[in-house]
Amino acid sequence: MNAWLGVKATPKGSRVATFIILWATAMQMEGREEFSIIEYQRHWNENERKAYRLQREFRELWPEFETPNELARVLAGQLDAENPANVARLPMKIQVTA
């Protein structure tokens, strides 16, 4: 049963890691210290339902945070927005414990 939980949690963890990195990338690209879910949605031209679903999953894994702003500020220093290949690899390097 524990193995099944791990398999189910992995896609959510990957989605949330990607969400955090996209949030950080958008903040960096716009020179902002924080974002709202609406600003995230606008920046990435994201479907409203999907953006809020991602935010809900983020809050499930990181209940101490309302938004990824704090985590994104830490990541922003590690992002190389000029090199999209580096940004694309970041979700594979972030560990999320569910």
pLDDT of residue 5: 47
pLDDT of residue 7: 47
pLDDT of residue 75: 84
pLDDT of residue 23: 94
Residue 67 belongs to some domain of the structure: yes
The angle at the Cα of 85, spanning 79 to 91, to the nearest 5 degrees, equals: 65
- Over the chain (98 residues), the average pLDDT of each successive run of 10 is 51 91 91 94 95 96 95 80 55 51
Closest CA to 18 of 71, 64, 63, 83: 71
Number of domains composing the chain: 1
Closest CA to 17 of 81, 83, 71: 71
Residue 9 belongs to some domain of the structure: no
Residue 8 belongs to some domain of the structure: no
Residue 12 belongs to some domain of the structure: no
pLDDT of residue 35: 93
Range of the domain at 66: 19-93
Residue 38 belongs to some domain of the structure: yes
pLDDT of residue 90: 56
With 0-12 / 13-18 / 19 or more C-beta atoms within 10 angstroms meaning exposed / middle / buried, residue 6 is exposed
pLDDT of residue 98: 46
pLDDT of residue 4: 46
